Structure 1
């Protein structure tokens, strides 16, 4: 098994209070951290761009 280190870039995103609440609610409902949810959403952008 190969141990790969991630190249990490920290970003700051400004969200409205309703967007923050929507993200918090989704994370609480799914039990997933916001970082994972945001990464997944970004990956869906890649597949939508190819469609």
Structure 2
């Protein structure tokens, strides 16, 4: 098993409308939810000191 991404596992509780929006986006783009969420996290602004 490739553990490249197995650094930390998290659980996210979403409201029904949020889960539906994510699922619809994933279906439209053919992307996995994990990939979409990971990309959103990478796009978060960071402080210059970090």
Query: Would you say same fold, with TM above 0.5?
Result: yes
In the TM superposition, structure 1's runs of 4+ consecutive aligned residues that sit over 6 Å from their partners are: none
Change (3 A) 1:7 1:32: closer
**Would you tell me which structure has more helix in proportion to its own residues?**
1
* CA-atom RMSD in angstroms: 2.0
1:1-51 matches, cutoff 5 A? 5-8=3-6, 9-45=8-44, 48-49=45-46
Q: Normalized against structure 2, the TM-score is what? A: 0.78
Instruction: Name structure 1 gaps, 5 residues minimum.
Output: none
In 2, Cα distance between equivalents of 1:10 and 1:40: 16
Aligned residues: 46
Change (3 A) 1:6 1:22: same
